[in-house]
């Protein structure tokens, strides 16, 4: 997803400022039809972007969990009648539903990544339109970075403050902000109206390679364009007014369509000199036909989308009815019911209940196009083989019809080879009225991952969206064709291109000394420029060699801070003043890196880090949800989607040198079930597909898991990651040592970190703060005092200095807003929440400066 920019072909209108706002304490907004607009008598003004919690004096608003509503009226200038109009939200925490003039246009889950909506067909140039947003901050595992405190008992969690604990309808488990974090919510980043041509540059990905002598660089650019004139904008399901709007828009699109021919690229330096250029042909990407797409029964855009009855959470594949079909026998032979269990490799996460939704695309066998056995283009042998396959499928269908529930089927051919399938049957005892819906792929073949990066964010199942609804199949394609004609698609035609630029004697982007080129991309129709986009590009390399991190082929040590987007009044909302001030304080410390704890920061923060030459560990909002009773395939799918949105947004930032894909799986790892220590198989089976997926999305950056603690507990995970992050804190064990016994504390810290070096991987200290109350002084250096914080940092720095495999350290930057009533505070920062320094600031400054 490209960040909006302005040039001769694109324009951006900020919608930041005052919006109408209403808190739905009683959950009646939908019943009252507030999605059409907020009545003036109930609305109050609010600033966007902001977290609504700290703005008002009403404590009910501060601690509100549930729906809040926003409204804004916007004018589309008459001169923009020939433009594509896109509404873009930087983030809405945690679940957003958006309406335009009463038409529901989008859902988005997750409060830290942007989403956009093409509203071209819904607005008219010269007229006003109304935006209404319902923002919900319920804590779902599938939607939020906020997890359950690992030591909390779900059966006893309760609080009068709803911001502390409440029931998640997605996981049916009480969720609390953790660790000691407040559940900030609202439209927390900028809202923009973006105008682009109808044929436009949709996305681009830049990958760098730098030669070892630093004298040559290769910049590979993958490009994607979209032509909205290819959209199907007809639908019989819409109102006459909306159909008329679509017909007019379709006419406008056709009238302005150009034949796209090439992508032209030019890389220029800060003085405007061209250092490299190239071009690529515009290659059409074959459109997906919903009928033949394997995801057609699952995709929200597909007219064939169906829903299934809920699956028992206790169901296991081993317990499913298992049908064996012998395809070597004559078709129609009686099938056998087998009790042979399905292999363990196809069970759910760590052997949990397998989720039918996880690897089912739902091929509906009754809706069949012309069979291959009738295809005259095939040889007689190929047609015979196709007939056997079709007979086998029909056999599975017929035998499964009489079963109700989940079904596993195994086809056995004459050679004894087997193929396992899974499906759902809603049959009756006679088998005549039943239907069998089977997965497209065999067990273990394919997942939803390839579809996650698609632009529409409602294309995957989510907790409160109806996932499946069975429709009675027909013997021919007439009904399918009719449904297809009613399908509204705003995807348009897609195009791609690829260009490799060679740069001689490049000026590299270096930590602390950034240099950003201008990459100008033009979408051409012959000699005519249809669209243009400019991206700031920093050329640099990142790699892991042995136990060291290298940037531009030189060892690099991260002198960093762990930052959280949290400030007074604004909450987690982006604010330029806070950003510049925080970066200034980092400069005072001598820091060269920061972690985005525990969620992606705003795009403005990443741009500024590019400009300042700050190294960033970009962290996904996946904190502390790894309890055995909580994680499952649905949460795993949502986690993958979060990773996809994060990487898709920040992939071109040179400041990002590492992805942190998860945080603190302590609860599961602490569940000891073997003499060798904590068994991490549960977390491993959950994380391994996510790690593989992240590497496919970006193979150029290392991966890490933030805040591992005990080396023995994490043994099952360390091989998955490139860099090992260690959390160095004043734990319950270390607190048994008197604060004045510095020698014993030092030895304890050394013993904590030594086991990590046995894995022969780079080790990074992701956190080593200690709770400190600003203004609390103690002659004897008691815990909680500013004197003890200084002693603690000095001990840690000595231990770090003695171990060359440590590639970086991150101290908590500032205190965060605590949730009143929790057992643990959040005062580990070296600055207070309002950015006043504690005494340890000068200790850290001296430490960083001594390292050069």
Q: Which tens digits make up the pLDDT trace of 486-521?
A: 334 456 788 999 999 999 999 999 999 999 999 999
Return the half-sphere exposure (C-beta side, CA atoms, 13 A cut-off) of residue 577.
6
Say whether 165 sits in a helix, a strand or coil.
Answer: coil
User: Which of 715, 732, 737, 733 lies closest to 724, judged by CA?
Assistant: 715
User: Which of 439, 611, 504 lies closest to 276, judged by CA?
Assistant: 504
Q: Which residues contact 808 (CB under 8 A, 6 or more apart)?
A: 549, 557, 558, 559, 560, 593, 764, 765
Distance CA 714, CA 730 (A): 19
Would you call 277 a catalytic residue per the annotation? no
By mean pLDDT, which of 153-167, 565-579, 598-612, 673-687 is the weakest? 153-167
List the structure tokens of 612: 């300042």
End-to-end Cα distance, the chain: 38
Backbone angles phi, psi at 195, to 5 degrees: -110, 125
Query: Is the dihedral angle over the CA atoms 155, 156, 160, 166 positive or is it negative?
Result: negative
Q: How far is CA 154 from CA 165, 175, 252, 822, in A?
A: 10, 8, 57, 15
Q: Is residue 482's pLDDT more than 70? A: no
- What does the mean pLDDT of the chain come to? 74
Alpha helices in 364-492 (DSSP H): 380-400, 449-452, 478-485
Query: Is the dihedral angle over the CA atoms 735, 740, 742, 744 positive or is it negative?
Result: negative
User: Which of 735, 562, 572 lies closest to 177, judged by CA?
Assistant: 572
pLDDT band at 360 (very low <50, low <70, confident <90, very high): very low
User: Which of 694, 747, 754, 748 lies closest to 724, judged by CA?
Assistant: 754
Distance CA 726, CA 753 (A): 8
pLDDT of amino acid 731: 67
Q: Render pLDDT for 649-692 as a digit per residue (tens, 0 to 9).
A: 999 999 999 999 988 775 455 444 443 434 567 788 888 889 99
Q: Render pLDDT for 55-69 as a digit per residue (tens, 0 to 9).
A: 999 989 998 989 999
Distance CA 723, CA 805 (A): 11
Return the half-sphere exposure (C-beta side, CA atoms, 13 A cut-off) of residue 613.
13
pLDDT band at 51 (very low <50, low <70, confident <90, very high): very high
Per CATH, which fold does 199-287+491-540 belong to?
Immunoglobulin-like (2.60.40)
Distance CA 447, CA 429 (A): 33
Q: Is residue 398's pLDDT more than 70? A: no
Q: How far is CA 259 from CA 197, 282, 661, 845, in A?
A: 14, 10, 41, 59
Distance CA 800, CA 604 (A): 33
Query: b/e per residue, 616-647, with b = 16+ CB within 10 A?
Result: bbbbbbbbbbbbeebbbbbbbbbbbbbbbbbb
User: Which of 388, 437, 441, 387 lies closest to 412, judged by CA?
Assistant: 388
**Total length of the chain:** 852
Q: Render pLDDT for 77-95 as a digit per residue (tens, 0 to 9).
A: 998 888 889 999 999 988 8
Residues 448, 339 contacting (CB under 8 angstroms): no
Residues 698, 659 contacting (CB under 8 angstroms): yes
Number of Cβ atoms within 10 Å of the Cβ of 794? 15
Distance CA 177, CA 528 (A): 54
Domain boundaries, the chain: 11-196, 199-287+491-540, 317-485, 543-850
Q: Is residue 219's pLDDT more than 80? A: yes
Query: b/e per residue, 460-479, with b = 16+ CB within 10 A?
Result: bbbbeeebbebbeeeeeeee
Distance CA 363, CA 295 (A): 8
Q: Which residues contact 61 (CB under 8 A, 6 or more apart)?
A: 23, 52, 53, 55
What does the DSSP assignment read for 627-675? -TTT--HHHHHHHHHHHHHHHHHHTT-TTEEEEEEEE--HHHHT-EEET
Distance CA 551, CA 543 (A): 7
186 beta partners: 93
By mean pLDDT, which of 4-8, 425-429, 796-800 is the weakest? 425-429
pLDDT of amino acid 391: 62
Q: What CATH superfamily classification does 543-850 receive?
A: Glycosidases (3.20.20.80)
User: Which of 701, 756, 748 lies closest to 726, judged by CA?
Assistant: 756
697 beta partners: none
List the structure tokens of 281: 């042909």
Q: Is residue 777's pLDDT more than 60? A: yes
Return the half-sphere exposure (C-beta side, CA atoms, 13 A cut-off) of residue 731.
11
pLDDT of amino acid 188: 96
Q: Per the omega criterion (within 30 degrees of 0), is the bond before 189 cis?
A: no
pLDDT band at 591 (very low <50, low <70, confident <90, very high): very high
Q: Which residue has the higher pLDDT, 806 or 155?
A: 806
Distance CA 551, CA 762 (A): 14
Burial of 815 (0-12, 13-18, 19+ CB in 10 A): buried
pLDDT of amino acid 152: 35
Distance CA 537, CA 210 (A): 14
Return the half-sphere exposure (C-beta side, CA atoms, 13 A cut-off) of residue 449.
18
Q: Is residue 301's pLDDT more than 80? A: no
Architecture of 11-196 per CATH?
Sandwich (2.60)
Distance CA 446, CA 602 (A): 33
Q: Which residues contact 721 (CB under 8 A, 6 or more apart)?
A: 691, 702, 703, 704, 705, 761
pLDDT band at 374 (very low <50, low <70, confident <90, very high): very low
Q: Is residue 429's pLDDT more than 50? A: no
Radius of gyration in angstroms for the set of CA atoms belonging to the chain, rounded to a whole number:
29
pLDDT of amino acid 736: 73
By mean pLDDT, which of 105-109, 550-554, 590-594 is the weakest? 105-109
Q: Render pLDDT for 572-590 as a digit per residue (tens, 0 to 9).
A: 999 999 999 999 999 999 9
Of all residues in the chain, what percent carry a pLDDT higher than 90? 46
Q: Which residue has the higher pLDDT, 753 or 314?
A: 753
Residues 788, 800 contacting (CB under 8 angstroms): no
Catalytic residue among 71, 522, 633, 664: 664
Please report, for the chain, how many H helices and E strands are present, in that order: 13, 41
196 beta partners: 84
DSSP state letter for 510: B
């Amino acid at each position: 997803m490209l960040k909006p920019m302005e040039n001769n072909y694109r324009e951006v209108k900020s919608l930041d400022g005052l919006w109408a706002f209403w808190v739905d304490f009683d959950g009646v907004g939908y019943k009252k039809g507030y999605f059409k607009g907020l009545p003036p008598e109930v609305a109050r003004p609010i600033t966007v972007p902001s977290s609504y919690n700290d703005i008002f004096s009403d404590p009910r608003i501060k601690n509100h969990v549930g729906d809040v509503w926003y409204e804004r009226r916007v004018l589309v200038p008459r001169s923009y009648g020939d433009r594509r109009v896109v509404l873009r939200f930087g983030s809405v925490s945690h679940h957003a539903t958006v309406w335009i003039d009463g038409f529901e246009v989008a859902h988005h889950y997750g409060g830290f990544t942007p989403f956009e909506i093409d509203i071209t067909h819904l607005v008219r140039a010269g007229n006003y339109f109304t935006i209404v947003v319902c923002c919900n901050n319920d804590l779902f595992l599938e939607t939020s970075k906020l997890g359950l405190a690992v030591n909390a008992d779900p059966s006893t969690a309760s609080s009068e403050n709803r911001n502390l604990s409440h029931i998640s309808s997605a996981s049916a488990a009480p969720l609390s902000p953790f660790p000691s974090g407040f559940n900030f919510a609202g439209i927390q980043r900028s809202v923009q109206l973006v105008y682009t041509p109808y044929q436009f540059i949709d996305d681009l990905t830049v990958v760098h390679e730098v030669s070892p002598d630093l004298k040559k660089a290769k910049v590979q650019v993958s490009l994607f364009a979209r032509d909205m004139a290819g959209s199907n904008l007809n639908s019989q399901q819409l109102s006459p007014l909306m159909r008329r709007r679509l017909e007019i828009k379709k006419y406008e699109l056709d009238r302005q369509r150009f034949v796209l021919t090439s992508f032209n690229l030019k890389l220029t330096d800060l003085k405007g000199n061209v250092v490299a250029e190239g071009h690529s042909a515009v290659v059409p990407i074959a459109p997906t036909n919903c009928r033949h797409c394997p995801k057609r029964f699952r995709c929200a855009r597909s007219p064939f989308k169906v829903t299934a009855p809920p699956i028992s959470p206790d169901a296991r594949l081993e317990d499913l009815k298992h049908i064996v079909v012998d395809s070597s026998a004559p078709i129609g032979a009686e099938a056998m019911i087998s009790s042979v269990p399905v292999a363990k490799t196809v069970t759910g996460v760590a052997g949990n209940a397998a989720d039918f939704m996880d690897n089912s695309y739902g091929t509906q066998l009754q809706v069949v196009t012309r069979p291959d056995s009738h295809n005259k283009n095939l040889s007689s042998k190929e047609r015979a083989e196709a007939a056997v396959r079709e007979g086998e499928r029909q056999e599975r269908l017929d035998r499964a019809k009489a079963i109700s529930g989940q079904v596993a089927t195994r086809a056995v051919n004459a050679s004894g080879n087997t193929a396992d399938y899974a499906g759902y049957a809603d049959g009756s005892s006679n088998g005549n009225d039943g239907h069998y819906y089977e997965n497209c792929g065999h067990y273990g073949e394919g997942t939803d991952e390839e579809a996650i990066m698609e632009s529409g964010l409602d294309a995957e199942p989510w907790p409160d969206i109806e996932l499946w609804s069975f429709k009675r199949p027909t013997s021919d394609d007439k009904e399918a064709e009719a449904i297809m004609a009613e399908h509204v698609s705003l995807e348009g035609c897609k195009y791609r291109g690829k260009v490799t630029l060679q740069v001689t004697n490049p000026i590299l982007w270096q930590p602390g000394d950034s240099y950003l080129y201008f990459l100008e991309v033009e979408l051409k129709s012959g000699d005519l420029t249809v669209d243009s986009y400019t991206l700031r590009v920093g050329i640099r390399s990142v790699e892991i060699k042995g136990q060291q991190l290298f940037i531009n082929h030189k060892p690099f040590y991260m002198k960093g801070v762990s930052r959280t987007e949290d400030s007074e009044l604004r909450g987690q909302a982006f604010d330029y003043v806070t950003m510049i001030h925080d970066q200034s304080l980092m400069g005072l410390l001598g820091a060269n890196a920061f972690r985005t704890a525990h969620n992606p920061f705003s795009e403005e923060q990443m741009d500024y880090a590019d400009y300042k030459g700050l190294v960033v560990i970009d962290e996904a909002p996946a904190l502390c949800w790894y309890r055995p009773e909580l994680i499952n395939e649905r949460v795993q799918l949502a986690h993958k989607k979060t990773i996809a949105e994060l990487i898709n947004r920040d992939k071109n930032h040179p400041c990002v040198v590492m992805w942190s894909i998860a945080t603190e799986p302590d609860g599961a790892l602490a569940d000891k079930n073997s003499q060798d220590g904590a068994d991490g198989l549960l977390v491993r089976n959950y994380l391994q597909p996510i790690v593989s997926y992240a590497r496919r999305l970006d193979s150029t950056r290392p991966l890490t898991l933030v805040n591992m603690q005990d080396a023995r507990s994490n043994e099952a995970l360390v091989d998955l990651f490139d860099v090992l992050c260690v959390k160095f804190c004043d734990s319950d064990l270390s607190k048994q040592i008197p604060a004045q016994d510095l020698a014993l504390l030092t030895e304890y810290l050394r013993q904590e970190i030594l086991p990590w070096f046995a894995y022969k991987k780079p080790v990074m200290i992701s956190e080593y703060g200690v709770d400190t109350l600003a203004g609390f002084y103690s002659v004897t250096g008691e815990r909680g005092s500013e004197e003890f914080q200084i002693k603690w940092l000095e001990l840690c720095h000595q231990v770090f200095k003695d171990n060359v495999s440590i590639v970086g350290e991150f101290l908590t930057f500032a205190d965060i807003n605590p949730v009143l009533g929790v057992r643990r505070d959040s005062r580990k920062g070296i600055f207070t929440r309002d950015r006043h320094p504690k005494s340890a600031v000068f200790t850290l400054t001296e430490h960083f400066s001594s390292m050069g």
